[in-house]
Structures are given as C-alpha cells and as structure tokens.
Amino acid sequence: LANNRNLDEIKEFLEVDSIGYQSLEGLLSCAAQPPDHYCTACWNGKYRIPVDIALNKFSMEHYQLRMFDDFSQADG
C-alpha cells in the first residue's frame, strides 16, 4: 500500500483525512507481554535468533514458517 506513495497519495487511496503511524515503542507498550517477548526484526532489524550469515527479511520469514510448521506437525 505505502510502497512508492507519499502520505497524500496514501490518504487519497484510503479515502481518509489523516494518517498517523504507531511507533514501535507505542505498539509494544500496548502488548500483553513484555517487549522482549516479541520479535521486532521487521521494524528494527534486530533478530531474536543468531544470524551467522547475511540474511534478508524474506529468508527469515521462510525460516519462521518452517519452524511453525514443525510445531504444528509435532502437535499432531
């Protein structure tokens, strides 16, 4: 949605009068668990698992999907 659009274009697309962005800190302050419970790598690039080689966001998401698939198969 926001890719290659400025704020005015986004407002026009959404047919709204204004747009506000939630800060990461504000988002985490509303969450049920402590901030260190959540992965925030998509926002700040700080991954919760060690990364030995240069990986991008999409490869990390692929890793995470495989991890969740393994958990669901274990639950059987």
pLDDT in tens, the chain (76 residues): 778 899 999 999 999 999 988 999 999 999 999 998 898 988 888 887 776 666 666 776 776 667 666 555 555 5
Position of tokens 């939630």? 22
Distances (CA, A) of 4 to 8, 23, 35, 76: 12, 21, 31, 43
- The reported pLDDT for the residue numbered 59 is 72
CA 63/CA 60 separation, integer angstroms: 5
Q: How far is CA 46 from the centre of its chain?
A: 11
Q: Global pTM?
A: 0.48
